[in-house]
């Protein structure tokens, strides 16, 4: 099985990090193919960057359409997920979506901890229809850079955030963002609830989707595009929208 | 990997049907172990039977605790799911829960079609926190017996129900109940949207959960029971609740 | 009028406590009949115990079916409420349900205070469809035993919890659990909002239901069971499900 | 026990009808005191009339404050309910509120059938926080006058509405409006689900509230008014708001 | 364009304050006509006063019906808004409604800060259907009188409340109440998010509504009253309800 | 006041149509500046096209940033609205958002009628937090082309859709899509409820936002981007994200 792990920003190091995590999580027989967009934000930190990254990501996915069995969106904002799911002939799963759905199988309500702001995560989880399962969100005052410089200090902050979410009723905690996901092995032994890493969850959910061989909807807003005319965009993307 | 496929009613034929479906869906290397409760309803059709079946199911699961890697509740009411999840040391996934979560990965909103009444399904999906993703429920006027006698006639009714759900916005349709799940191969080619069979989805989600090696919550309402005193119940169940 | 006050755990002392509270709350002419399950948990503290207790409770209720005018479920988890409501020919009301509905008549939003964890109460109130009326839940760090040993200390903790709920917008506070209900006479004079005791509310709501002489639904998921085949369970329960 | 049955419109015949229904539903020892506002709409059919009737109703209630043990608002719009609840020293229950809460004790979801438009009922039930329990609303194309002229024809229409609500999942149906409540004895034998008459439910719920002797909230938005200065209104109302 | 700025309490000073704020916010060519009810509460602080004020306000509006192009309800409780909207031939906008809708155009979620209690604001915003956009409510422990006496001290309290709302995710904050609206010029420069003054928002939204020349609904619960018989009320109000 | 009317697809004719509608709706003194993206879909009909159009739109807006007082997104999917709102120094309003918020001022619940599919509109309205105000959506089986060829036939279909929405409780109906908005003058006289044209509503709401001179949030997820590094995109867009 060939799974594309598609970053939505242009930082190759993050793609590599996610691909490594994906390989560690994948079944035997699953090949991980990393991919980085050709343009767009170095790191997505604003709503506008997320839109641009969406286009860049779709362009990237179009290059691989038909050559992979599934696509994991390795971006914690689940950028352009619904569009990618409509566009591609294979299953598409996104990182935070995957972690949240998996959290639903591990307990009752879940929390999410991340570096920095949380409102866009709240919105994304609402779009996934999972607000009722969300116990809370905690934005830890730290950065990925700080996590590299002072891993123990940042781990303490994250564990405090996890404890706060547990106090609000979380049975599991989603680690929001690629940087945090990397810290799961350090944090998990010190956390009384399971910590969900979107890359690991996503790879396994994708393997499930591929195995189930579900047909794509032929009607409705997730049916494959046909005959769409889109100008000035990357050739493979335009072709895919045309239904060529 | 050893997966227990636990029926919640005492009809061995249904256990066998579900076990076969589970085997067909499982990965290589997964062993399916069918199990049928020792007491309780022949078929669950009322709320009271569902409670009794819950006890019977927990007693059954307790017999297998520690000897399997995961448990699939092969009962469309997701009977005693949260209790089983708390009780057992391994992951537990239920059939309708599994189909609904998988449907979330296949499109936007999903529908559910079943034989007979739908209100308890509506309640169960609300308890799963997925009401926002539910486009509708259709209860087809037919029985499993009728499906055996007149498969084509019943298939027509089900396809009409599926069309109605699509008209209400469903991108995918959950087949509610073991009897329907068996009809997926017949129905899928004639349905414009993917049909979700809870057994297949459940087996694969369980494989994912087992692979992820998430620890069980050590705090909160899903932490393993310890020191509970329960009288007059099956020995393995009492022992498990005692934490022995 | 004969009202069965059915405990769902096997601790006779709690049954006696609830029956006394019920007698104190009942109208003249109402006879309170206490009942304790023959098997199951000594005290319900886990999800699995709640399921087992549900079966034990239904078995107990079946013994009394047709001999009482109404049933009060004297268990703060409202164990097996919907099943009992479907199963029995008479009205059934549960303790926390009763307190919450009564709270709706006393103000705008209500809170709930209890000993220990609150997540399962949150879920139960959501199942009752009353989440919008819920201002908050407070789990006080104390036990029923501690309440006996140090009543004043525990009262202080409970009053602090009540104040916190008022600050969150509660106009009334439900006392979650039989142990707390017993403390209402002590707490109420020191609380600026009404405190709701599920036993008292439940007895009076039952008297209302009996007086209204509403027919039972003859269709839908609360219609009485007919012809159900359930093996290996208590004879009266099997008989009731058979519709005998 | 003295219960004021307060109409919110000025049509004495409706007051009398509601008072008769209240007497029929009341316990022995309960005295029903009918009351009709001194000004306002003959029949409430618009939002503006409902506001005016609110004032007229509060003025009426103020005349009786301290002389009755409970107040039933005999108006299907639950006019000025929250204000009356805050204003008066005794429990206040409204007709549709009472029927809806009682319906919650009779099954899962409920419907409402009425003559004419339903949107304001939808809004009122949402304000009661019970939208999740509402299966649907049906506005029958008929008038109270027509119900007098052609009772059988109107009964047929109402029964069709009840069937539609059952098909949408209702286990019980609230009869919206005094005119319909009068038809319960005719309709109930032909309905497969219980029909809820707000007057009967309200009287019994009030008896419960009076019996429970709950204190009024002393803080928050339902605490009794103190020192309010209101000019140009009826003397008893102004006095009550002043806290005199 | 003639806009009626209708206070709902009888304190002329507040009417004047609101009218000044309205004039400051209005377009060139908009004439502001202040109006104060002839009876009712000096200041609305209880639910009962709000109902009485509703009647007084409708009576006031009826005097002006047909002579103004739009009506702004200058009362933070949005008193009798829906009734006024149904009653009058011209657009009607209320103060808090206006601020909340405008806040939706300025960011994601909004907060509300006010003097004193917040529960009735929570209810009103829920009635406006905007709960999902509400990040929180803060009731500052201060009074309008204190704001006159110690403007800097009260400003500090309000800014602390605004900061708390921002921490809860608010991108904008509604100033609840006429007294606070007056403080916007002082507070805005010290607030990192926009502060919404209901009078300013309301005047501008009304100008929009007048300019759009939308017809009034001719059916449903906002269609103009016709032939309503209402006794004992102010002549213009009775006439308007009669449809004269 | 200079308002940019920005189309999100590349069809100049639609831009012109919207600009004309905007001019017709604008106040005296408002200048309408039409703008069409340089790349992207000819017409947005899929989720993927909507993402691409989002990028194209942001690039277009960046060219005009600082030169206009407000931006109207003339695209019924409200494409990239939140991103544009964060990115630009001036107010941004989108077409369907504008119509829905205006509908809230015209009655209770609103409906939406459009050509074709409705699910993405349902999602967008949910993202706007207005699901509670939504009475329903109707997708008429017709195309813009058909509307040109057979205006009367299509008008009949739309009026049937409007009637269906009124039956479901709509007091106002949003016309979804530029093509429909053009039909408002034809449809409004035959509709018993107001029809909302997003262009007209949007222009007027923008004029309000500009007049209110609200500051932009300086914190949170709508604060202006600063120092963002985005490669391979249009120069003005990259510059704006850099905060240059």
Number of Cβ within 10 Å of residue D12's Cβ equals: 11
- Chain C contact partners (≥3 CB pairs within 8 A): A, B, D, E
pLDDT at site C39: 98
CB contact under 8 A, A222 and B130: no
Per-residue pLDDT band for A131 (boundaries 50, 70, 90) equals very high
Q: Is D216 on the interface with E (CB under 8 A)?
A: no
Collect all residues with Cβ–Cβ distance below 8 Å to B196 and sequence separation of at least 6: A214, B99, B100, B102, B103, B106, B110, B172, B173, B174, B175
pLDDT at site F222: 98
pLDDT at site D147: 87
pLDDT at site E38: 98
Collect all residues with Cβ–Cβ distance below 8 Å to E153 and sequence separation of at least 6: E142, E146
pLDDT at site C185: 87
Q: Is B167 on the interface with F (CB under 8 A)?
A: no
In the predicted model, residues of chain F with pLDDT beneath 50 are none
- pLDDT single digits (tens) E142-197: 988 898 899 999 999 999 999 999 999 999 999 998 778 778 889 999 999 999 99
Q: Hey, of E112, E114, E119, which one would you mutate to test binding to chain C, going by the most C CBs within 10 A of its CB?
A: E119
- What HEC string does chain B produce? CEEEEECCCCCHHHHHHHHHHHHHHCCCCCEEEEECCCCEECCCCCHHHHHHHHHHHHHHHHHHCCCCCEEEECCCCCCCHHHHHHHCCCCEEEHHHHHHHHHHCCCCEEEEEEECCCHHHHHHHHHCCCHHHEEEEEEECCCHHHHHHCHHHHHHHHHHHHHHHHHCCEEEEEEECHHHHCCHHHHHHHCCCCEEEHHHHHHHHHHHHHHHCCCCCCCCCCCCCCCCCEECCCHHHHHHHHCC
CB contact under 8 A, D48 and E58: yes
Which residues on adjacent β-strands are paired with residue E230? Answer: D41
Number of Cβ within 10 Å of residue F28's Cβ equals: 5
**Mean pLDDT, range C58-73, rounded to an integer:** 98
- What HEC string does chain A produce? CEEEEECCCCCHHHHHHHHHHHHHHCCCCCEEEEECCCCEECCCCCHHHHHHHHHHHHHHHHHHCCCCCEEEECCCCCCCHHHHHHHCCCCEEEHHHHHHHHHHCCCCEEEEEEECCCHHHHHHHHHCCCHHHEEEEEEECCCHHHHHHCHHHHHHHHHHHHHHHHHCCEEEEEEECHHHHCCHHHHHHHCCCCEEEHHHHHHHHHHHHHHHCCCCCCCCCCCCCCCCCEECCCHHHHHHHHCC
Asked if residues B8 and B40 have their Cβ atoms less than 8 Å apart, the reply is: yes
SS3 for C188? helix
Q: Which fold has domain E106-197?
A: Rossmann fold (3.40.50)
Q: What is the mean pLDDT of chain A?
A: 96
pLDDT at site A140: 96
pLDDT at site F180: 85
- pLDDT single digits (tens) D176-218: 987 787 788 899 999 999 999 999 999 999 999 999 999 999 9
Chains E and A touch (3+ CB pairs under 8 A): yes
Asked if residues C237 and C231 have their Cβ atoms less than 8 Å apart, the reply is: no
Name which of A192, A161, A189 is nearest A177 in CA terms. Answer: A161
Which of chain A's residues have a Cβ under 8 Å away from the Cβ of C122? 169
Name which of A125, C178, B152, A82 is nearest F77 in CA terms. Answer: A82
- pLDDT single digits (tens) B138-184: 999 998 889 889 989 999 999 999 999 999 999 999 999 877 877 88
| Closest CB from E102, E208, E217 relative to F107 | E217
CB contact residues (below 8 A), chain F span 65-84, against chain D: none
The CATH architecture annotation of domain D98-197 reads 3-Layer(aba) Sandwich (3.40)
CB contact under 8 A, E214 and F131: no
Q: Hey, of B6, B38, B40, B48, which one would you mutate to test binding to chain C, going by the most C CBs within 10 A of its CB?
A: B48
pLDDT at site A182: 76
pLDDT at site F10: 97
Q: Is D192 on the interface with C (CB under 8 A)?
A: yes
Distance CA C98, CA A12 (A): 59
Asked if residues B171 and A222 have their Cβ atoms less than 8 Å apart, the reply is: yes
CB contact under 8 A, E132 and F129: yes
Q: Which run of H or E residues covers position C197?
A: strand C195-197
CB contact under 8 A, D87 and E233: no
Q: Is B64 on the interface with D (CB under 8 A)?
A: no
Which of chain C's residues have a Cβ under 8 Å away from the Cβ of E119? 108-109, 169, 171
Distance CA A218, CA A212 (A): 17
Chains B and D touch (3+ CB pairs under 8 A): yes
CA distance A223 to chain F (A): 9
Q: What is the DSSP string of E49-101?
A: HHHHHHHHHHHHHHHHTTT-SEEEE--TT-TTHHHHHHH-SS-EEEHHHHHHH
CA distances from D105 to B147, C209, D125, D195 (A): 36, 8, 16, 12
Q: Hey, which bits of chain F come out as E strands? A: 2-6, 31-35, 40-41, 70-73, 92-94, 109-115, 134-140, 170-176, 195-197, 230-231
Collect all residues with Cβ–Cβ distance below 8 Å to C205 and sequence separation of at least 6: C93, C98, C101, C102, D105, D208
CB contact residues (below 8 A), chain E span 217-236, against chain D: 220-222, 225, 228-233
Q: Is D119 on the interface with F (CB under 8 A)?
A: yes
**Regarding beta strands D40-41 and E230-231, do their DSSP bridges make them parallel or antiparallel, or are they unpaired?**
antiparallel
Q: Please tell me the class of the A97-197 domain.
A: alpha beta
pLDDT at site C160: 98
Inter-chain CB pairs, B–F, below 8 Å = 8
Q: Which run of H or E residues covers position C2?
A: strand C2-6
pLDDT > 90: percent of chain A: 93
**Mean pLDDT, range E95-123, rounded to an integer:** 97
The residue in chain A having the minimum alpha-carbon distance to the alpha carbon of residue C118 is A169
| Closest CB from E171, E196, E219 relative to F193 | E219
Chains E and B touch (3+ CB pairs under 8 A): no
Which of chain E's residues have a Cβ under 8 Å away from the Cβ of F21? none
Q: Hey, of F47, F50, F119, which one would you mutate to test binding to chain B, going by the most B CBs within 10 A of its CB?
A: F119
- What HEC string does chain D produce? CEEEEECCCCCHHHHHHHHHHHHHHCCCCCEEEEECCCCEECCCCCHHHHHHHHHHHHHHHHHHCCCCCEEEECCCCCCCHHHHHHHCCCCEEEHHHHHHHHHHCCCCEEEEEEECCCHHHHHHHHHCCCHHHEEEEEEECCCHHHHHHCHHHHHHHHHHHHHHHHHCCEEEEEEECHHHHCCHHHHHHHCCCCEEEHHHHHHHHHHHHHHHCCCCCCCCCCCCCCCCCEECCCHHHHHHHHCC
Print burial letters for F72-110: b (CB count within 10 Å at least 16), e (below 16): bbbbbbbbbbbbbbbbbebbbbbbbbbbbbbbbbbbbbb
**Mean pLDDT, range B35-41, rounded to an integer:** 98
pLDDT at site C42: 96
| Closest CB from B47, B49, B82 relative to C230 | B49
- The ipTM value here is 0.97
pLDDT at site E226: 97
Q: What is the mean pLDDT of chain C?
A: 96
- pLDDT single digits (tens) C89-136: 999 999 999 999 999 999 999 999 999 999 999 999 999 999 999 999
CATH of range D2-96+201-242; options 3.40.50.300, 3.90.320.10, 3.30.460.80, 3.40.50.12500: 3.40.50.12500
In the predicted model, residues of chain D with pLDDT beneath 50 are none
CA distance E61 to chain D (A): 11
Provide the CATH number for the domain formed by C2-95+201-242 in this structure: 3.40.50.12500
Distance CA F90, CA A51 (A): 19
Alpha carbon E149 to its chain's center: 25
Is residue C244 pLDDT above 80, yes or no?
no
Q: Do F2-95+201-242 and F97-197 come out as alike in CATH topology? A: yes
Chains D and A touch (3+ CB pairs under 8 A): no
CB contact under 8 A, F219 and E166: yes
CA distances from A173 to A133, A135, C116, D122, E108 (A): 11, 9, 21, 38, 24
Per-residue pLDDT band for C141 (boundaries 50, 70, 90) equals very high
The CATH architecture annotation of domain A2-94+201-242 reads 3-Layer(aba) Sandwich (3.40)
Q: Which run of H or E residues covers position F201?
A: helix F198-212
CA distance F125 to chain B (A): 13
Alpha carbon E214 to its chain's center: 21
Is residue E244 pLDDT above 80, yes or no?
no
Is residue A144 pLDDT above 90, yes or no?
no
pLDDT at site B148: 85
Which of chain C's residues have a Cβ under 8 Å away from the Cβ of A169? 118-119, 122
Name which of E141, E147, E149, E204 is nearest E179 in CA terms. Answer: E147
Rg (CA), chain B: 18
The CATH architecture annotation of domain B99-197 reads 3-Layer(aba) Sandwich (3.40)
Structural domain boundaries in chain B = 2-96+201-242, 99-197
CA distance C119 to chain A (A): 6
- pLDDT single digits (tens) B63-99: 999 999 999 999 999 999 999 999 999 999 999 999 9
pLDDT at site E148: 85
Q: Is E133 on the interface with A (CB under 8 A)?
A: no
Asked if residues F46 and F71 have their Cβ atoms less than 8 Å apart, the reply is: no
Is residue A184 pLDDT above 90, yes or no?
no
- pLDDT single digits (tens) C157-206: 999 999 999 999 999 999 998 778 778 889 999 999 999 999 999 999 99
Asked if residues B113 and B175 have their Cβ atoms less than 8 Å apart, the reply is: yes
């Amino acid at each position: 099985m060939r799974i594309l792990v598609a970053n939505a920003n242009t930082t190759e190091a993050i793609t590599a990090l996610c691909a490594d995590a994906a390989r560690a999580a994948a079944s035997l027989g699953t090949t991980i193919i990393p991919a980085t967009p050709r343009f767009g934000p170095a790191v997505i930190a604003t709503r506008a960057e997320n839109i641009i990254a969406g286009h860049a990501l779709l362009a990237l996915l179009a290059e691989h359409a038909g050559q992979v069995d599934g696509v994991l969106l390795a971006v914690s904002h689940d950028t352009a997920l619904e569009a990618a799911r409509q566009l591609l002939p294979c299953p598409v799963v996104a990182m935070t979506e995957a972690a949240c759905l998996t959290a639903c199988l591990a307990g009752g309500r879940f929390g999410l901890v991340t570096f920095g702001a949380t409102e866009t995560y709240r919105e994304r989880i609402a779009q996934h229809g999972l607000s009722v399962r969300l116990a809370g969100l905690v934005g830890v005052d730290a950065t990925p850079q700080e996590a590299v410089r002072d891993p123990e200090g940042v781990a303490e902050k994250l564990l405090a955030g996890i404890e706060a979410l547990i106090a609000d009723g979380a049975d599991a905690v989603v680690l929001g963002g690629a940087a945090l996901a990397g810290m799961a092995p350090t944090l998990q032994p010190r956390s009384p609830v399971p910590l969900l890493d979107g890359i690991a969850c996503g790879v396994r959910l994708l393997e499930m989707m591929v195995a189930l061989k579900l047909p794509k909807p032929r009607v409705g807003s997730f049916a494959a595009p046909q005959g769409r005319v889109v100008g000035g965009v990357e050739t493979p993307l335009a072709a895919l929208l045309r239904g060529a």
